Structure 1
Amino acid sequence: MNEDTHSAPARILIYSTAAVILTIGMQQISTILVPVFFSVFAYLIFAPLVHWLQRKGVPGTVSVGLVILLFIVVAIASGLLVLGSLLQLSTRIPNYETQLMGILEKLADYLPSAGFSIESILRDIGAFAFGITAGILTGVLDAGTTTGLIIITTTFLLLDAAGAPKKVQKEIESQSFLVLQVTEFGKNLINYIVIRTETNLLGGIGTAVLLLIGGIDFAILWGILTFLLAYIPYIGFILAALPPMLLGLFKYGPLGALAVLAGISLVNALVENVLFPSLAGKGLKLSPSVVFLSLFYWAYVLGTAGALIAIPLTMVVKMILESSEETRWMAKLMESSGSRNQNEEDAG
């Protein structure tokens, strides 16, 4: 007992050191890890469709080819749509910049003098706007290269899954409790990713339709942005709402910006508080603080892409911690209080 008490700090130190080393290592190879992670998650999304086609009598290779073709068509169509919208947006930025300057000049009469020039602030805002546009265009081009690698990797993963004999898979699963646990976790992860993607798609479509009705420029682009950023809990909605709010301000004034915010908030509330919980059941079983902190951790390790897949990656970490008796208490700390109480009731 005394030996275990004294060894606990040593184990915590070892785990902490290993976590730091692993974090630094993943950060150094993030350019490799990002397409690999996205390929695995794309595989988890499309594998059920491949299996469904196989059950309908479609051969394995043909079913994979059809699914990958669908993936490529969606990726190319979305990429061209986003790139075209961004190019049009870049040509209108000077006009938006002029409107923003006019609004700020009107506000300057009501703001106290702080010893700085309003002209310098406007120039800085203009430079920032152009810099953001250039960064977005560069990011889209980089994403095109990464998407190609993701499609190729996903294809090989789906081909391997389609060619694996069911009997061999069942025999392997029956021999290892850890494999069974991983299989069960994989089902939960697939369920989360598929449901999250479906609800994000509905939220993006709802936002785009709402903005089209309101006459906001580039409504489809903001709908796609809403779909992507909805993978980021808590702050993704805010980031997606800012551009259309700004355009609503330019077109209709402050009331227009508030109306855009109210409409997007309504769509987000319906998706996040009604639709997603009803489909996802008991939810993530992750505490809100862990979810929030995981966004910063994975964004630090993998960049912006890390924030998009922070929740699935955190679920993977929780599964790994649950696989060992020594680290199971860490997994319990990651659960929400409601999940812990439910588990205690089930155990009782």
Structure 2
Amino acid sequence: MRDQPAPRALIILVGIAAAVIVLYGIREVASIAGPIVLALVLVIAVSPVRRRLAAWHAPTWLQVAVPFLIVVLVLLGMVGILVISATQLASLLPSYTAEFQHLLSDAQHWATTHGVSNDVLNKGLAAFDPGKIVEFAQALLGSVIAILSSMFLIVVLLLAMCLDAPVTAKMLSAGTGNGARLVSALATFAHKTRRYLIVSTVFGIIYAVLDVIALTLLDVPLPLLWGVLALIANYIPNIGFIIGLVPPAMLALLDGGVQKMLLVVAAYTVTNVVTQSFILPKFLGDAVGLSTTVTFLSLIVWTFVLGPLGAILAIPLSLLARALFIDSDPAAGWAQALVSGKLPRG
């Protein structure tokens, strides 16, 4: 008798179970896995610099040093801005306690005149304790310290990966036989990730600069901090715009009232629509190859697994998973159409 193949439903269930086990395992070592993935993505982002130096027959040490220094300087610059701005924010927020109480009183008066019961008001006001402003500042400083504590590991991983990059590139380019499809899938992953990062970074910088200019003109405190936040949030799919908007809008509300907050919301909305909705899709095109639903689900899954860093790396991580489990498998054409949201050609 010929062996009967396992039912497809059983294979899918086993695959889902294995994926859950792996994701929970990664979550347990998120403090290590997160920096590893971030270092890998950064090395991929600067790999064109290394290839250009190799084409110019630059010495190997230069092919390693230049990409490494580019990434380290960018990371140190962003962390430095965050540290200085977060320190200023921590000292600034307590000074808005009186404005916060005034806004709550106005909101309470408005709600009372519109028939909202006192019980509902008391429950709402209990959630808006002014002391939470200071707690928020302390939590923000704690997050910055956590980033600094992982910087050493990220830099070490960057150096190790940059040292191995020339040899790894030669090994992958020489891949043949049964591994050729996997090599091709990984090369596609690197290309899509690099294009996504470069295009998103360029337009994220444009978006952040426009936001900083708008916040400066509106006299919102700490515009540079909110610009960096807008740039970082730009890498978070679907909800990054809201994450980058809420803190400066709330600070504008405390600093200048509802009118200033609405002006900040309008400025952010206009710059986001122009850069992210009209211009960015024309340059990014179909480079990512993930449907809107898969992108949103990947945001949820990777944030659950790796925390805030997982939200930033959701797209590259999903592209890596696609390369390893779908693009490298000749029989997974149906899955390619499923995750990309497009029917296969032919």
TM-score, scaled relative to structure 2: 0.89
TM alignment of 1:163-182, pairs within 5 A: 163=167, 170-172=173-175, 176-182=180-186
Gaps of 5+ in 2: none
Q: 327, 331, 334: which one pairs with 2:339?
A: 334
Could you give the per-residue CA deviations for residues 177-218 of structure 1, whole angstroms, max 9, x where no partner exists?
331232233222221122222222221122112211221110
Could you give the per-residue CA deviations for residues 285-342 of structure 1, whole angstroms, max 9, x where no partner exists?
2121111111111111111111111111111222222322454433321122xx32xx
Residue 113, structure 1, aligned to residue 117, structure 2: yes
Find the aligned partners of 1:216 and 1:190 in 2 and give their Cα distance.
34
* Contact 2:90 2:141 (C-alpha < 8 Å) held by counterparts: no
The structural deviation recorded for 1:169 is: 5.2
**Which segment drifts farther, 215-224 or 288-297?**
288-297
Residue 212, structure 1, aligned to residue 216, structure 2: yes
Task: Indicate how the Cα distance of structure 1 residues 279 and 25 shifts in structure 2: closer, same or farther if over 3 A, else same.
Answer: same
Task: Indicate how the Cα distance of structure 1 residues 307 and 57 shifts in structure 2: closer, same or farther if over 3 A, else same.
Answer: same
Aligned residue for 1:155? 159
Q: 314, 319, 326: which one pairs with 1:321?
A: 326
Could you give the per-residue CA deviations for residues 121-159 of structure 1, whole angstroms, max 9, x where no partner exists?
368522322222111111111111212211221122122
RMSD: 2.5
Task: Indicate how the Cα distance of structure 1 residues 8 and 162 shifts in structure 2: closer, same or farther if over 3 A, else same.
Answer: closer
Q: Secondary structure at the match of 2:129?
A: helix
Find the aligned partners of 1:55 and 1:97 in 2 and give their Cα distance.
59
**Which segment drifts farther, 92-101 or 326-335?**
326-335
Q: Secondary structure at the match of 1:200?
A: helix
Larger relative contact order (Cα-Cα within 8 Å, sequence gap ≥ 6): 2
The structural deviation recorded for 1:68 is: 2.4
TM alignment of 1:28-177, pairs within 5 A: 28-111=28-111, 112-115=116-119, 121=125, 124-163=128-167, 170-172=173-175, 176-177=180-181
Aligned residue for 1:267? 271
* Contact 2:298 2:314 (C-alpha < 8 Å) held by counterparts: yes
* Contact 2:185 2:327 (C-alpha < 8 Å) held by counterparts: no
* Contact 1:101 1:122 (C-alpha < 8 Å) held by counterparts: no
Find the aligned partners of 2:305 and 2:212 in 1 and give their Cα distance.
32
* Contact 2:35 2:154 (C-alpha < 8 Å) held by counterparts: yes
Find the aligned partners of 1:328 and 1:176 in 2 and give their Cα distance.
17
Q: Secondary structure at the match of 1:176?
A: helix
Find the aligned partners of 2:329 and 2:174 in 1 and give their Cα distance.
23
Q: 230, 251, 257: which one pairs with 2:234?
A: 230
* Contact 1:61 1:162 (C-alpha < 8 Å) held by counterparts: no
Amino acid of the residue matched to residue 235 of structure 1?
I
Amino acid of the residue matched to residue 223 of structure 2?
A
Residue 298, structure 1, aligned to residue 297, structure 2: no
Amino acid of the residue matched to residue 264 of structure 1?
Y
Task: Indicate how the Cα distance of structure 1 residues 101 and 195 shifts in structure 2: closer, same or farther if over 3 A, else same.
Answer: same
Task: Indicate how the Cα distance of structure 1 residues 55 and 182 shifts in structure 2: closer, same or farther if over 3 A, else same.
Answer: same
The structural deviation recorded for 1:252 is: 3.1
The structural deviation recorded for 1:173 is: 5.3
Amino acid of the residue matched to residue 95 of structure 1?
S
Q: 206, 212, 217: which one pairs with 1:202?
A: 206
Find the aligned partners of 2:195 and 2:229 in 1 and give their Cα distance.
23
TM-score, scaled relative to structure 1: 0.89
Residue 289, structure 1, aligned to residue 289, structure 2: no
Q: How many residues align?
A: 339
Find the aligned partners of 2:267 and 2:239 in 1 and give their Cα distance.
17
Task: Indicate how the Cα distance of structure 1 residues 124 and 273 shifts in structure 2: closer, same or farther if over 3 A, else same.
Answer: closer
Amino acid of the residue matched to residue 130 of structure 2?
G
* Contact 1:64 1:158 (C-alpha < 8 Å) held by counterparts: yes
Task: Indicate how the Cα distance of structure 1 residues 253 and 290 shifts in structure 2: closer, same or farther if over 3 A, else same.
Answer: same
**Which segment drifts farther, 147-156 or 136-145?**
147-156
The structural deviation recorded for 1:114 is: 2.6
Find the aligned partners of 2:169 and 2:137 in 1 and give their Cα distance.
49
Find the aligned partners of 2:120 and 2:169 in 1 and give their Cα distance.
72
Q: Secondary structure at the match of 1:282?
A: coil
Q: Secondary structure at the match of 1:109?
A: helix
The structural deviation recorded for 1:280 is: 1.3
**Which segment drifts farther, 175-184 or 138-147?**
175-184
Identity %: 23
Find the aligned partners of 1:114 and 1:214 in 2 and give their Cα distance.
36
Find the aligned partners of 2:307 and 2:172 in 1 and give their Cα distance.
36
